[in-house]
């Protein structure tokens, strides 16, 4: 079982804890970002003394310029690995369903490589998910 060997598995990785949002506006559109040639959801690393909910709200605001956010509920935790500068990374992300109220002039965080931040209609979501990461597709398949 993974639980039995979790510490041993993590030993080979630098573990990064993160949180993000699955954000819907009043039109029931989903907030997505475009970064590194892929459609993604806003998320980021936890800061010192920050809880998961605070991190998720802060990251959505920073990456997209969205305010007036409220967390509806915790959704799930995802795990993914990657290499960066020869270092093996395990990112553990806590995801929260959020609502956003009001009109927003979305402003992608260019300094983080985010080229676009857009509200996507559910009817158009499949198009974006064809150019996304597997874990994002899995997260959104039951939304």
Instruction: Give pTM, 2 decimals.
Output: 0.90
Tell me what pLDDT residue 142 has. 81
pLDDT tens digits for 91-131? 999 999 999 997 778 999 999 999 999 999 988 899 999 99
C-alpha distances in Å from residue 54, one per residue of 5, 28, 44, 48, 131: 30, 23, 11, 11, 29
Residue 11 zone, left/alpha/beta (φ > 0; ψ -120 to 50; rest): alpha
C-alpha distances in Å from residue 73, one per residue of 36, 50, 94, 98, 125: 29, 18, 11, 7, 22
The CATH class of the 2-140 domain is: alpha beta
Tell me what pLDDT residue 102 has. 79
Instruction: Kindly tell me if the per-residue pLDDT of 72 is higher than 90.
Output: yes
Tell me what pLDDT residue 12 has. 81
**Among candidate residues 94, 96, 142, 40, the one with its CA nearest the CA of residue 31:** 40
How much is the mean pLDDT over the chain?
A: 91
Instruction: Kindly tell me if the per-residue pLDDT of 2 is higher than 60.
Output: no
Tell me what pLDDT residue 3 has. 64
Q: Average the pLDDT over 11-31 and give the result.
A: 93
Tell me what pLDDT residue 56 has. 97
- Give the 3-state secondary structure of residue 129: helix
Structural tokens at position 5 = 């060997």
Give the distance, in angstroms, between the CA of residue 136 and the centroid of all CA atoms in the same chain.
8
Cα separation, 66 vs 10, whole angstroms: 34
């Amino acid at each position: 079982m993974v639980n039995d060997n979790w510490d041993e598995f993590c030993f080979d990785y630098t573990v990064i804890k993160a949180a993000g949002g699955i954000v819907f506006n009043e039109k029931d559109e989903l907030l997505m970002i475009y970064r590194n040639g892929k459609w993604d959801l806003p998320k980021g690393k936890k800061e010192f003394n920050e809880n998961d909910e605070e991190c998720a709200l802060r990251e959505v605001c920073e990456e997209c310029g969205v305010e007036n956010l409220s967390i509806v509920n915790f959704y799930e935790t995802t795990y993914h690995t990657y290499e960066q500068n020869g270092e093996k990374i395990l990112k553990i992300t806590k995801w929260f369903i959020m609502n956003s109220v009001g009109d927003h002039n979305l402003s992608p965080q260019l300094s983080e490589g985010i080229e676009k931040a857009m509200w996507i209609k559910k009817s158009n979501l499949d198009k974006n998910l064809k150019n996304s990461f597997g874990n994002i597709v899995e997260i959104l398949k039951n939304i």
